[in-house]
Amino acid sequence: MTGSPGDEAGTDGPALIVAYLDMLAAERGAAANTLAAYRRDLDHYLAALTASGRDPLVTDAGEVRAYLADLETQGLKASSAARRLSCIRGFHKFLYAEGFAEADPSAPVGGPRRGRTLPKVLSVAEVDDLLRTARERAVASETGDAPGERRRAVRMLCLLETLYATGLRVSELIALPRSAATTKQRYLVVKGKGGRERLVPLTDLARGAMREHLDHLSGEGPFLFPADSESGHLTRQAFARDLKVAAAAAGIREDRVSPHVLRHAFASHLLQNGADLRIVQELLGHADISTTQIYTHVLDERLKSMVRDLHPLMDEPAEPDTAPI
């Protein structure tokens, strides 16, 4: 007798989650961090269903709405609740498409309202201060007695110059191969989310900082930023921690700086100087331009400035309120 799809994969919640995550990894190339976040969200959702005595294969839209309402009472931000709903929708859509469930209960559920959140961005002057301070610390370390301090200062300068020059995701930056510092090309080929490759240009300052950093590396290894971590390269947590120290040295509040903030600065500063939104999309590695459109507030300000500066009537004197006697 032929079994149902649920019989083959197991109909218990954890097995269904594993099947869904396996599909995301195999068919969509989801990254390990994405899969881990989805697992946390779905474990939380399944625990709520179990507490209500519901099965994910036969639950309904009312139960999904109740779960979202409960998240709101717990103080979860609307953006986080929307991300959680997106994960749940993908899960139920998968169960329905694969024949595990007879319906998708999440389809009629509307998402929570989200305000438009603008990214934190440093000004051009602040980034200049950050980079100048990093250069000064690298130069000052040349006369120090601690080789380790010299290596860390040169590494931080390389990280900052490369990040601001390329707008890489922090996961892409810390995992750069050692060959990135020796390429004769003026660009890098980066593999981003979903295995998609893109070209990112390198500035002369970034290339110089890479070569200087490479001169201070010892031994052989595949990574430009090696470290004694499970991955074999610098962790994002370690970089974020050291970046806050560099920000404080430059007189910038630590809570205003992170690797992602510098990625935002890269994009915003390009748009401020006239870059096309599609070009910025390609450089950032966004699959959908709607993701890049969070930066349109920069374009709005630039358009207003252009109208003020270029419109032929903007300099016309205002007419008096009353006619002269």
HEC profile of 250-284: CCCCHHHCCHHHHHHHHHHHHHHCCCCHHHHHHHH
Q: Which of 15-24, 162-171, 257-266, 270-279 has the lowest mean pLDDT?
A: 270-279
- Give a yes or no: residue 286 inside a domain: no
- The answer to whether 166 and 201 have CB atoms below 8 angstroms apart is yes
What dihedral angle (degrees, nearest 10) is formed by the CA atoms of 305, 309, 314, 317? Answer: 130
130 found inside a domain: yes
Active site residue 260: yes
Q: Is residue 175 part of a domain?
A: yes
* Sign of the alpha-carbon torsion through 196, 270, 295, 125: positive
Report how far apart, in Å, the C-alpha atoms of 317 and of each of 304, 311, 323 are.
Answer: 19, 13, 15
58 and 163 belong to one structural domain: no
Asked if residue 230 belongs to a domain, the reply is yes
Place of tokens 């919640």: 13
Q: Which of the residues 38, 45, 67, 295 is marked catalytic?
A: 295
The answer as to whether 105 is a domain residue is: no
Percent of the chain scored above 90 by pLDDT? 47
By residue range, what is the domain housing residue 160?
Answer: 124-259
- Would you call 263 a catalytic residue per the annotation? yes
Classify residue 223: in a domain, yes or no: yes
Question: Residue 192 has what pLDDT?
Answer: 82
Note whether 190 and 70 are same-domain residues.
Answer: no
Same domain flag for 128 and 252: yes
pTM: 0.60
Per-residue pLDDT at 154: 95
Picking from 97, 114, 146, the residue at the C-terminal end of a domain is 97
Set 137, 155, 263, 269: catalytic member: 263
Q: Determine, yes or no, domain membership for 182.
A: yes
Query: How many domains does the chain divide into?
Result: 2
* CA 272/CA 300 separation, integer angstroms: 10
Amino acid at 38: Y
Q: Annotated catalytic, 169?
A: yes
Question: What are the CA-CA distances from residue 225 to residues 180, 210, 229 (Å)?
Answer: 11, 10, 11
> Is residue 47 domain-shared with residue 167, that is, in the same domain?
no
SS3 229: coil
Among 199, 225, 259, give the residue marking a domain's end: 259
Q: Report the alpha-carbon distance of residue 125 to residue 14 in Å, rounded.
A: 50
Question: Rounded mean pLDDT of 285-312?
Answer: 65
Whether 193 is a known active-site residue: answer yes
> Among the three residues 97, 132, 158, which one is the final residue of a domain in this structure?
97
The CA-based dihedral angle spanning residues 241, 244, 249, 253, taken in that order and rounded to the nearest 10 degrees: -160
pLDDT of residue 7: 42
Residue of 39, 260, 297, 302 marked catalytic: 260
Q: Are 66 and 24 in contact (CB under 8 A)?
A: no
| Active-site residue, from 77, 135, 193, 216 | 193
Q: Which of 54, 92, 155, 169 is catalytic?
A: 169
Asked whether residue 224 is domain-assigned, the answer is: yes
Over the stretch 115-140, which tens digit does the pLDDT of each residue have?
555 567 789 999 999 999 999 999 98
Q: Which amino acid is at 182?
A: T
Q: pLDDT confidence of 315, banded at 50, 70, 90? A: low
Instruction: Identify the CATH number of the domain in which residue 202 sits.
Output: 1.10.443.10
